Amino acid sequence: MDLIIFLICSVIAVACGINLVLQKHPISAALSLVGVMGSLAVLYLLLGGAFIAAAQIIVYAGAVMVLFIFVIMLLNAGAEPAGRKRSYARLFGPPLLAIFVLLIAYAIQARLPRSEGVQFGRFTGGSPEGIGIKVFTDYLLPFEVVSVLILIAILGAIVLAHKEIR
C-alpha cells in the first residue's frame, strides 16, 4: 500500500514539475507547483512527518503559493512569447538526460548497503510533540533567530511596497 501511494504521488510530483518547466503562462506553472507541494505533503506523511506535512500545506501551498498567484494576477503577467529556434539539443537532450540519471541512480544504489524500507508508522518522532520537544530544547536559538528573520522580511516587503504620501 505504501508503495502504491508513493508511486502515485511521485508520478504526480514529477509530472507537475515537468509541467512547471514547460508551461508558457505563469499561472499554469503556479498551479503545477501547488500540485507538487500537495503530493510532497503526502510523501512527508508516509515518512512519518505529520507536522511537516501539515506545515507544507498550510505555509507553502496555502500562503506562499497564494502570494505568488496574487502577484501574477496583480502584474497581469501574460504568456511568454515563443522565440527559440529548433535545435537538436532540445530534441535529444531530455531523454538522454533521463537515461543518464537512471543509470547513475541504479549504479549508486547497487553499491549501497541494503537499508530497510520506509513503512508508514515506523517513525513517530515527527509528530507535533516530537517536533516541539526538539525545537524548544535543542533548536531554541535558531527558532528565535528565524522569528527575527521573518520580522525583517516583513519590514523589507513593507518598505519596498510603500508609496510616499505627498
Partner 1 sequence: MSVQANSVPLSWYLLLSAILFALGVAGFIWRRNIITVFMSIELMLNAVNLSFVAFSYQLRQADGHIFSLFVMVVAAAEAAVGLAIILTVFKNRQTLEIDEVESMKY
Query: Least distance (Å) from partner 1 to the CB of residue 47?
Result: 5
Sign, CA dihedral 3-6-12-16, equals negative
Query: Least distance (Å) from partner 1 to the CB of residue 88?
Result: 16
> What whole-number distance in Å separates Cα of residue 30 and Cα of residue 148?
28
> What whole-number distance in Å separates Cα of residue 60 and Cα of residue 41?
10
Cβ-based nearer residue to partner 1, 59 or 91: 59
> What whole-number distance in Å separates Cα of residue 142 and Cα of residue 136?
10
Q: Which helix (H) or strand (E) holds 40?
A: helix 26-46
Cβ-based nearer residue to partner 1, 112 or 165: 112
Query: Least distance (Å) from partner 1 to the CB of residue 44?
Result: 5
Query: Least distance (Å) from partner 1 to the CB of residue 153?
Result: 4
Helix orientation angle between 140-161 and 128-137, rounded to the nearest 10 degrees? 90
Query: Least distance (Å) from partner 1 to the CB of residue 148?
Result: 10
Contact 68, 22 (CB under 8 A): no
The set of residues, in sequence order, having a beta carbon less than 8 Å from that of 161 and lying 6+ positions away, is none
